[in-house]
Structure 1
Amino acid sequence: MNQALQQAPRSKVRWLVAGLMWSAIAINYIDRTVLSAAAPHLQAEFHLSAMEMGIVMSAFFWSYALLQLPAGMLADRFGQKIVLGASVFWWSLATAVTGLATGFKSLVLLRVMLGIGEAGAYPSNAGIATRWFPRKERATVAGIFDSGSKLGGAVALPLIAWLLATFDWKVTFAITGVLGLIWCVVWVLVFRDSPADHKRVNAAELAHIRDGEAVSRNDSTGAAAAVPWHRLFAHRNIWAMCIGFFMINYNSYFFITWLPTYLVKERGMSLMEMGFMASLPLILSMIVEVFAGWASDRVYASGKLSLTATRKLFLVVGLVMASSIGLAAFATSPLVAVALLCVAKSGTTVAASQVWALPGDVAPGNMVSRVAGIQNTVSNMGGVVGPIVTGAIVGATGSFIPALLFSSGLIVIAILNYLFLLGKVEPIQFNQVPVEARNRDERNVDVSA
């Protein structure tokens, strides 16, 4: 790198890209949350039972969880611009036309369609982070784009409640759907799969993005991409990433499913108090997540800790914070309980800033979105199972205390998982073999664990 290139001021297009990634996730969560706020209106209009409404709400996860890996494979194969753009367009259209639903069956179908579209968001963002950001900035951008989910969750309910009061549920779905369609126009005009193809990215920023080993991995479409995706499971780090994120998501979904009920029934809050208190953990955790990503990148860039030590440090610190959910069970004051829950939720996001950087750290070649898809498939099983198990424990015991302690116990398992199962954080290496041999006998592909 010559002196003139080092001294030239860098353009900052990558942070514009980060903003688009963040807004896609924020819209993602607004669109998946609108049904919860509109549920009473839908139940009344279509005469839905509580069980039918529950099926409608869960239908989203049927397609969303199952299509994470296929979405990641498509993003790696055809590029994140096409896949993320098509995903946002698809789910926004599904949201906008929900107002045309005529009953239970059509609502289930439209929620499944929403899940199909939203499945492409996180795997695509993980791939974009690797293409557009050097390793020393990936936790920052991971914290930025994932924080959009907290803003979407915190802002969605009051925003949608206002729309429902001002218009009706049909118009509300249409308005929230249009947000994503507007995003798609900006995305097509601004984003390019490779920063080298973007006219506003200068040589200094491109050199910064491609710092060190990133250049070969960002543009790699070689032998690693030809290795079947299931071979990734031969590596311990893939298992550690999936197990850990499952435990984190199990806890995270408590805050967007059972927390309102907990605050009203267990802590005796009014609906107005609950609305404010339930939003605090989400708002605070959004800020903490961005800071945690930035801080971990600064630690790694300083050279004081290796990438492995940096990732494990912030994962463990975040999960120790997350274990506060167990302490909240015994808090005598509702305010102390909420404060502990704020610490717990913030802890899950400290860990999440590292979780979403890991696919870019460990994926071989052009397989980042695939690795992210695998990780997110398993993690969303935690989102599916968590609310059900919490409900079963509360129903059986009549108290949230055992449920919160169980959640805290899973966090302890997650800590041990990241400390001991997660190995050295580095790209998974596949031995190259001739294409003819690979086609003749797939067993000739050797995976280094």
Structure 2
Amino acid sequence: MRVFAATWLCYAGYYFCRRPFYLVKSQLAADLGFSTSTLGAIGALFLVSYAIAQFLAGALGNRFGPRLMLLVGMAVSMAANLGFGVATSSAAFFVLMTVNGVAQATGWSAGVGTMACWFNRQERGRVMGVWATNFQAGGVAANLFAALLLERFDWRVALFSSVAALGAVWLVVLTNQRNRPEDVGLPVVRDQDEAPDSVDDGKLGWTRDATVNVVLVGLYYFFLKLIRYALWSWVPFVLARNYHLEGSEAGYIATLFDVCGIPGVIVTGWLSDRVFGARRAGISLLMTVAMTLSCLLLYSAGQVSVPMFAVAIALIGFTLYGPDALLTGAGAMDIGSRRAATLAAGIISGIGSCGPVVQELVIARMLDSKGGDLGPVFLLLLGSAVAAAAMLTIVVVRNRLGHSNV
């Protein structure tokens, strides 16, 4: 339980040094004179370094263990965010964002790798359904924390205080996280069909089908993460610019996306174990179709009404976060197996993390060139949802043909 709580808190804590930049974009534009394109480029640099480092983090996590990756990653991220608080030029932000992206990439794969060693396949859906609420809860807490400080002080105080919050989490992880049950004298956790001599033999044991499944889930995650990061990155900005809300008000509304994602993750994880027989793709496809309909609502009604905008992003959050967490958490464990879960999670997240890079650059140009018109942006999100559903349909078909067991 201590390991579960420590790793949950750890990944939630990462968001205190990831989310504040997106919340203070309008303040950076006003105080430092950054254009929309410059802000988009800064965000894109973070996402590029984050995506590339995911692959490296997965491989290094398999070699050095999740604990070291988490402690080093959090420490470097805190240092980069301290730099944000004193930086005054776009060049400094470019460098620091790149460093922060590499540091932040250590979090998910190392967390998933830890959990794979402590829980077997038959319980992972329910366990990861609860554990994976960390990135919604972390997003909500980081947003509210920064929005409150932004309302009462300024963006620099918001950044420095967020670093302090992650520092407290770092101490909790240092004293409570352990990579495997064996590290504290407990027996090895095995899947029901796992032979005793199949653990820790130094080989991945991946078949061609397993490799294809990792790539397919990664491509699905590309489109899903494009939508998630588009809403994270630009909702506060467009609410302030297009709907003329105050920065703190925009931050509070943006939080609905994460808040509604929390029950979505828990429900999806429970259903995957109890109704879908520990398979993740079927329930994830149903939720993805519902997410597509929610994106259609955002496109059709969100452009003219703040309440409908809020309802739409809340529905997207509920339907997006479940598949997001399930396939990149429990799904990565199932595909990669206990010994290679960290690597599988790193590859899936690495492919998926290219989606946020695309949205950051494309949406910034859309907002600049279209005079702030949100129609093309919302259409991009709808198209991405359709593409995500198509990728996952292939996985479900492969399940039925016996080529995957996701």
Which one of the candidate residues 347, 354, 364 is aligned to 1:374? 347
Query: Does the 8 Å contact 2:10/2:170 carry over to 1?
Result: no
Against the structure 1 CA distance between its residues 366 and 164, is the aligned structure 2 distance closer, same or farther, given a 3 Å change threshold? Answer: same
Code of the aligned partner of 1:298:
R
Deviation at 1:253, TM superposition (A): 1.8
Structure with more contact order per residue of length (Cα contacts < 8 Å, sep ≥ 6) = 2
* Equivalent residue number for residue 99 of structure 2: 113
Structure 1 residue corresponding to 2:234, chosen from 258, 282, 295: 258
C-alpha change, 1:396 and 1:54, in structure 2 (3 Å) is closer
CA deviations 1:286-324 (Å, max 9, x no partner) are 22212322332233xxxxx444xx312211111011112
Using the TM superposition, give the Cα deviation of residue 176 of structure 1 relative to its aligned residue in structure 2, in angstroms.
1.9
CA distance in structure 2 between the aligned counterparts of 1:397 and 1:43, rounded to whole angstroms: 17
Pick from 306, 310, 317 the counterpart of residue 286 of structure 2.
Answer: 317
Against the structure 1 CA distance between its residues 396 and 41, is the aligned structure 2 distance closer, same or farther, given a 3 Å change threshold?
A: closer
- Equivalent position SS for 1:222: coil
Find the partner of 1:279 among 247, 255, 260: 255
| Structure 2 unpaired stretches of 5+ | none
Measure how far apart 1:30 and its partner are. Answer: 1.9
**Structure 1 segments unaligned to the other structure (5+ residues):** 1-12, 300-304, 430-449
Count residues with an aligned counterpart.
397
Q: CA deviation at 1:148?
A: 2.4
Query: Is 1:360 the counterpart of 2:360 in the alignment?
Result: no
Q: Equivalent residue for 1:243?
A: 219
- On the 8 A contact 1:27/1:179 being kept in 2, the answer is yes
Moved over 6 A (4+): 231-234
CA contact (8 A) 2:295 2:385 kept: no
Q: Which residue of 1 aligns with 2:108?
A: 122
Distance 1:363 1:172, change over 3 A: same
Taking every aligned residue pair, what percent have the same amino acid on both sides?
23
Counterparts of 1:380 and 1:224, CA distance in 2 = 23
Distance 1:27 1:102, change over 3 A: same
Instruction: Give the residue type in structure 1 aligned to 2:58.
Output: G
- TM-score w.r.t. the length of structure 2 is 0.84
More moved, 77-86 vs 53-62: 53-62
Q: Deviations over 1:402-425 (max 9, x none)?
A: 432342233223223222245349
* Pair 1:159-2:133 in alignment: no
Instruction: Give yes or no for contact 1:34–1:157 (8 Å, CA) kept in 2.
Output: yes
Instruction: Quote the residue 1:438 is aligned against.
Output: none
State which of 366, 369, 393 in structure 2 corresponds to 1:419.
393
Which residue number corresponds to residue 73 of structure 1? Answer: 59
- CA contact under 8 A between 1:97 and 1:174: conserved in structure 2? no
Letter in 2 for 1:259: V
- Match of 1:410? 384
2-structure distance, mates of 1:414, 1:42: 33
User: Which residue of structure 1 aligns with residue 270 of structure 2?
Assistant: 294
Q: TM-score, normalised by structure 1?
A: 0.77
1:97-108 equivalences in 2 (<5 Å): 97-101=83-87, 103-108=89-94
- Indicate the RMSD between aligned Cα atoms, in angstroms: 3.3
Residue aligning to 2:314: 342
Deviation at 1:95, TM superposition (A): 2.0
Seen in structure 2, the aligned counterparts of structure 1 residues 63 and 388 have a Cα distance that, compared at 3 Å, is closer
For the 8 Å contact 1:224–1:365, the answer to whether it is kept is no
| Correspondence 1:185 to 2:159 | no
